[in-house]
Structure 1
């Protein structure tokens, strides 16, 4: 199920968006999980990348939507962001935080439907998949979006996640095959990296958004950089 967040301090405006989402769902036979936040701080507090699309009001007290979006992008490079605003001139600023689009209030359903459909199409090309991690205490289910990178030592796998670290057992090669369609990259025999969380690459080092520095092995460097360049060519913003 697609998860939608609405960040809006005006309860009436939030309910309009919620009603439009449900109407679109009825028309297209889709279900959506909708979460409401009345300010940006509540969205960002203990943030976990569980939402697929975020509708962000720009003019909010305490923390305006643009500043909230800048903080959000440090935590989540993947979520699709749509601004909702009274002022169209904010649209250009939206590109600074990789916003997909903006909607000007008062929101009309015809406009909402067109832009929401575009957002659905974007996330459908980057579907999240589920990973089952086997541990002595049982199994844990993860989604690919939670994974920053996976490290292997012997047969022990360490999953470095957006909200912590867990350990399991298995084959990194098998995981590489499973995560191929999500563009996970092998920089080294010991690492399988989610490119969405790469901060920058310098020499033989990949720095992740959590600050961890990972090695690029000499035999893998050329292929790794080629694959990363292809991903960048699809419009993802990373620093090389």
Structure 2
């Protein structure tokens, strides 16, 4: 994938240097390229937040704007960036969930654990990459980012593809669409429904809830579905 844009927000030069060295080591081992910017206070990154930032490493206890306040401000206008708190103040872990923090990295930084966090972060970013599939809708061929497809259903001998912004009628069978999609991300929960595991909110006794929509799940498929879903979600925890 392209270079990953990383911001380090740390008022201690030594700790900032250790993070950069860990990223350099990860690059040497994994071949992942990073574009790194360093800020020495939360207020600095809030004022000059770089566009298309992928990952923010954020110290909690800083002399100016603290890490949690900084994270709340960042999250208000960037819901996708991965935030890692780097701190010895683990007592604030619960507050991190309010800004959807990816993880806490406890000081002093230990590289093996850091590498594990980074591998999961790379998987998450890879998953978000645009993957376009072509769908036949009437006489047109429509290009759709498969990561935006929430679920697909059979409708009046055609298929209805529900994305996070609209729904598209397709002149293709559900089975044909399924073959175009990543089997590690999409699961056939019912003869008439195919769901994107990334959008699954809740599993009920007889339904799967996908962004607020209840979709029936076959009792013969549920056991395997639960295993596949657990494996999928576990990759990003």
TM-score w.r.t. structure 1 length? 0.59
Structure 2 segments unaligned to the other structure (5+ residues): 39-43
Change in 2 beyond 3 A, CA 1:71/1:188: farther
Q: C-alpha separation between the residues in 2 aligned to 1:33 and 1:175?
A: 37
* Inter-partner Cα distance in structure 1 for 2:123 and 2:141: 32
> Could you tell me whether the CA contact under 8 Å between 2:134 and 2:143 is conserved in 1?
yes
Tell me the residue number matched to 1:121.
119
Over 3 Å counting, the alpha-carbon distance change for 1:101 and 1:197 in structure 2 is same
Helix, strand or coil: the match of 2:152? strand
Contact 1:187–1:221 (CA under 8 A) maintained in structure 2: no
Q: Matches of residues 50-65 of structure 1 in structure 2 within 5 Å? A: 51=54, 55-58=57-60, 60=65, 64=69
Does structure 2 retain, via aligned residues, the 8 Å contact 1:7–1:54?
yes
Offset at 1:226?
0.9
Q: Which structure has the bigger radius of gyration?
A: 2
Q: How does 1:90-101 map to 2 (within 5 A)?
A: 90-91=92-93, 99-101=102-104
Cα shift readout 1:166-204 (whole Å, capped 9, x = no counterpart):
63644432343432122x222333421122322223343
Q: C-alpha distance in 2, partners of 1:133/1:35?
A: 38
Distance 1:201 1:70 in 2: 28
Partner of 1:142: 145
Alignment-derived partner of residue 214 in structure 1? 214
Other-structure match for 2:45: 38
Give the match for residue 88 of structure 1.
Answer: 90
Secondary structure at the aligned position of 2:91 is classed as helix
Superposition deviation, residue 69 in structure 1 = 10
1:216 Cα shift?
0.7
Note the residue ranges of structure 1 that are not aligned, 5 or more in a row. none
Q: Using the alignment, how far apart are the partners of 1:57 and 1:171 within structure 2?
A: 51
Change (3 A) 1:92 1:216: same
Aligned with residue 227 of structure 1, among 202, 220, 224: 224
Cα RMSD for the two superposed structures: 4.8
Aligned 8 A contact 1:101 1:115 in 2: no
Deviations 1:55-84 (A, max 9, x none): 344455596377689999xx77xx865322
> What TM-score do the two structures reach when normalised by structure 2?
0.59
| Conservation of the 8 A alpha-carbon contact between 2:60 and 2:68 | no
The CA deviation at 1:86 is: 4.6
CA contact (8 A) 2:197 2:229 kept: no
Paired residue total:
213
